[in-house]
Structure 1
Amino acid sequence: MKFLILLPILFASFVLSEENNIFSRSLDAGKTDPLTWMILNQLQASQTKLANLDNKLDTKISKLSEKLTNVENMSGYKKQFDTLTKHLNDVETKLHAFSGKMSDLKNDINKINQGRKNKCNTGWKKFNGCCYMFRYDRLSWQQAKTECENNNAHLVKIESSTENRWISNEITVSAKATHVQIWTGLNDLIREGHFTWVNDHSSVGYSNWASGEPSNYRGVEHCVTMHTNGLSTWNDQTCSYKTGYICEK
C-alpha cells in the first residue's frame, strides 16, 4: 500500500532530474539566441514551480505515510480491544453463573432456617406452628415468666379451644396428680379486670373461665392458671402462688 502511494513521487523526481539535465544543456545553446533565451527563462520558472509542487507533494506523501502507520497501529489496538472484549464476555458469563449459584445457595439457607424455625428444640412440643415447653417445678408467676424469657419464649398464650384442649391433654399424668393448676401468660396486673397476655399485651379473645371466675378473691388474684383436672378451665390466682408453668415460642 505504501509502495503504491510512493511510486508517483519517485516518478516525479525522475522526471524533474531529466528535465534539469535537458535544461542545463539547452541553457548554453540559448545564450547565442535571444528567443531561445526567453523560452529558457520561462522553462526555468516552470521548473521552479514544478519543484515547489514536488516538495509539497512529498510533504503530503510523508503525512499520508504517517497516517497509514497510525492506522496500522490502530489495527493492533483493535486486536487488543477484541481480546479484552472476549475476556470481558467470559467474565460476565462466569459472573452470571456465579450469581445463579449464589441465588440457589440463599434459597437453600432460607429452607434450612425455615426448617429450624419449624422444628422445636429438645424438650419442646410442637403444635400449630408453635413450640411449647411444660415445666413442673414450682415457681411464682413472675419467676415462671422470667424462666420462659430466659429460653427466648413467653408464658403461654391460648387463642382457641383447640389449643386449650391440646395443652390440657399434654400435661402429664404425674403433673396432674401433683399440680392442681399451672401458669399461663394471662393477667390483669396493669388494670384490674382487664386481662391481657404477657407477650404482646393483647386482650382476651378466646377464654375458658371456670364457673365464677375470674373472682379476684380478696382483691389479690391477678395472674391466671389452667386447671389440670382435664376440664382445662381457667382461674385467676395470687401471682405469688407457686406451681408449674407452660412456655411458648
Structure 2
Amino acid sequence: MKFLILLPILFASILPSEEFKRFVGSSDAGKTDPMLWMIINQLQTFQTKFTNLEHKIETKSTKQLDKLGKQLRDLEIKLMTNNKTITDLKNDINIIKKGMQERCSPGWKQFNKHCYMFRYDRLTWQQAKHECENYKAHLVKIETSKENRWIGNEITISASSSHGQLWTGLNDLSSEGHFTWVLDKSSFGFSNWKRGEPNNGSGVEDCGSIHTNCQSTWNDAPCAYKTGYICEK
C-alpha cells in the first residue's frame, strides 16, 4: 500500500514532461502499460484537484483580505469621528470651566471680570488682610474711578450708617508716605483721597480705607482700628 502511494510521486519526479504528455496522449497508452496509465491518470486528477483547491484558497484569502481592509477603513473612520467628538467635548469643558471661573461664587459680586466681597464684621487691617487670603483673595485694589464708584454704590445702606470706612489694600507700612497696594506692592495711579488725606494723624495712620459716604473718598487710618473690609479676586 505504501508503495502504491509513493509510486506516483516517484514517477512524477523522474518522468520528463514531454514524454509524460506523449504517453498520456497516446491512444495505445492504456494497452501498453495499463497500470502505469491508471497511475498517471490519477496523478492528473490529483493535480487538477490541487489546482482547484489552490485557486479556492487564493480566492478565499483575497475575499478575507478585502473584508479585513473594509473593516480597517471603517475603524479608521470611527476613530476619526471619535477623535473629533473628544476634541469637541474638551472644547466644551474648557468653555464651561472658563465660564465658571468668570462667574463669582455665592457671596461675591462681579465687576469687570473681578469678584468682590463686602464684609462688615470689624477687624484690624492685618486681620482683614489674612481673612481675604483665607478666601484666596486680597484686600481690594482700586484702579479706576469707575471701579471706585461701583464699590461706593455696592456698600449697603446699613454699612454706611454703622461703618465710617472699610479697609482697602493701601498701606505705607514699608515706607512712610509711600502708599502701595498689598496685592503687588505697586503704587496707585488713580486715587480719590479725601481733602487733607493722607495725613498720618498722630503718626500712626499707615493703612488705607474707603469712606462709606456717597463720595467714596479714601483715608489713612491706624491699622489697629477695627472696621469692615473689601476682598477682591
**1:118 and 2:128 correspond:** no
Aligned position for 2:36: none
Asked if 1:136 is matched to 2:120, the reply is yes
CA shift digits 1:117-154 (9 cap, x unpaired): 23222221121222111110000111111111212221
Q: For the aligned residues, what is the CA RMSD?
A: 3.0
CA 201–13 in structure 1, closer or farther in 2 if over 3 Å, else same: farther
Give TM-score scaled by structure 1 length. 0.70
Q: Which protein is bigger by CA-based radius of gyration?
A: 1
Within the candidate set 160, 170, 173, 2:154 is matched to: 170
How far has the Cα of 1:76 moved from its partner? 4.5
Judged with a 3 Å threshold, the aligned counterparts in structure 2 of structure 1 residues 185 and 8 are, in CA distance, closer, same or farther, namely: farther
Question: Identity over the aligned pairs, expressed in percent?
Answer: 56
- SS of the counterpart of 2:216? coil
Partner of 2:209: 225
Query: Partner residue of 2:21?
Result: 11
Equivalent AA in structure 2 for residue 211 of structure 1: R
Q: CA deviation at 1:191?
A: 2.7
Of residues 164, 168, 193, the one that matches 2:177 is 193
Structure 2 CA distance for partners of 1:11 and 1:164, relative to 1, 3 Å: same
- Equivalent in the alignment of 2:38: none
SS at match of 1:137: strand
* Alignment counterpart, residue 76 of structure 2, candidates 83, 92, 113: 92
- Cα offsets for 1:152-193 (capped at 9, x unmatched): 221111110011011111111111111111100112223333
What letter corresponds to residue 180 of structure 2 in structure 1?
Answer: T
* Inter-partner Cα distance in structure 2 for 1:137 and 1:209: 24
Shift of 1:215: 1.8
Q: Residues 77 and 198 (structure 1 numbering): CA distance in 2 closer, same or farther, change over 3 Å?
A: farther
Q: In the superposition, relative to structure 1, how do residues 81 and 138 fare at CA in structure 2: closer, same or farther (>3 Å)?
A: same
Question: Secondary structure, in 3 states, of the residue corresponding to 1:80?
Answer: helix
Pick one of 115, 130, 136 that aligns with 1:152.
136
* TM superposition score normalised by structure 2: 0.74
Local SS of the residue matching 2:106: coil
Q: Distance in 1 between matches of 2:19 and 2:222?
A: 119
Decide whether aligned partners of structure 1 residues 84 and 244 sit closer, same or farther in structure 2, where only a CA change above 3 A counts. same
**1:193/1:69 Cα in 2 relative to 1: closer, same or farther (>3 Å)?**
farther
Q: Using the TM superposition, give the Cα deviation of residue 68 of structure 1 relative to its aligned residue in structure 2, in angstroms.
A: 10
SS at match of 1:215: coil
Query: What CA distance in whole angstroms lies between the structure 2 residues aligned with 1:110 and 1:234?
Result: 40
Q: Deviations over 1:9-32 (max 9, x none)?
A: 63234489x89xx9xxxxxxxxxx
Read off the aligned partner of 2:196 and give its amino acid letter.
Answer: G
Partner amino acid, structure 2, of 1:212: G
Which runs of 5 or more residues in structure 2 are unaligned?
Answer: 1-15, 33-46
For 2:228 and 2:19, how far apart are their aligned partners in 1? 113
| Among 89, 105, 128, the residue aligned to 1:105 | 89
The alpha-carbon distance between structure 1 residues 137 and 82, as it changes in their structure 2 partners (threshold 3 A), is same
For 1:209, the aligned partner's letter is: W
Task: Give secondary structure in 2 for the equivalent of 1:135.
Answer: strand
Counterpart residue type for residue 22 of structure 2 = A
